[in-house]
Amino acid sequence: MLRAMYSGISGLKNFQSKLDVVGNNIANVNTFGYKKGRVTFKDLVSQQVGSATAANGLSGGVNPKEVGLGGTMATVDNVYNQGAMQNSGRALDVGISGEGFFALDVNGQTQYTRAGNFYTDNAGDLVNGDGAYVQRIGGGRINIPAGAKSLSIGKDGQVSYVDNAGASTVVGQIQVVTFANNAGLSKVGANNFIQSQNSGAPQIGIPGQGGRGELVSGALEMSNVDLSEEFTEMIVAQRGFQANTRIITTSDEILQELVNLKR
């Protein structure tokens, strides 16, 4: 069989994967704190049809002759560029301007997110939309008593309110967590990530310190997906898919011609 046919098949698989990633990005264009994906490729092994030779006293050197055998997927990256901040005017909507993640207690497991649309449950604890508790500096939950007024969240993560006597009370400080390698985090759905062996250990700290981003109350970080870029990548993937189908078709026509030689 022709090597080009198998190269075309590998190309079809590659561009299908690219379309899968682009489609997921477009589906999450309005997802708070979503970080877009990117797929990269690498070539497969090459078959050597001629070896290299060094120069000698009679002739110069000769380069190797190699024929590639297609490509394969190399990586699927998460791109952690800052998304645009959208003002909401809601005190419990919080965005991170800079590096870092919010830490959540999800059924006893610590997960991390950039989505800061928080709420209070029936006990007054600060949670996300799925009921996961927002973790604070020093551990534990952030509890806002019933009847609290003028709730506010500072740039340093301090959550405070005004009581009936007019006094301001701090009930906790939201922590921001950074990692040595953000790209090493694993997605677990629901806008959340978990630590992996290649992400490094979580480095817990105060927002705005140690390279961590400051918190922006009353705003949410939007997805960093650029629709114009994604549609361009979709066109590239579509044309690449078509080109590889043409390779397979042309290879098949050549094989047909070889079969017809017997007639």
Task: Give the total residue count for the chain.
Answer: 263
Proportion of the chain above pLDDT 90, given as a percent: 73
**Strand locations in the chain, DSSP E?**
37-43, 46-50, 65-68, 71-78, 85-87, 94-97, 101-106, 109-113, 119-120, 126-127, 133-134, 149-153, 158-162, 168-173, 176-178, 186-189, 192-194, 203-205, 214-217, 219-221
Average pLDDT rounded to a whole number, residues 204-215: 95
Domain range summary for the chain, segments of one domain joined by +: 3-51+64-80+225-260, 90-218
The two tokens of residue 33 are 């704190």
Q: What is the pLDDT of residues 186-200, one digit of tens each?
A: 999 899 999 999 999
pLDDT at 253 over 60: yes
Measured distance CA(176)–CA(96) in Å, rounded: 9
The two tokens of residue 125 are 């604890």
Question: Confidence band (pLDDT; 50, 70, 90) for 2?
Answer: confident
3-class DSSP assignment, residue 236: helix
Q: What is the pLDDT of residues 120-162, one digit of tens each?
A: 999 999 999 999 999 999 988 999 988 888 899 999 999 999 8
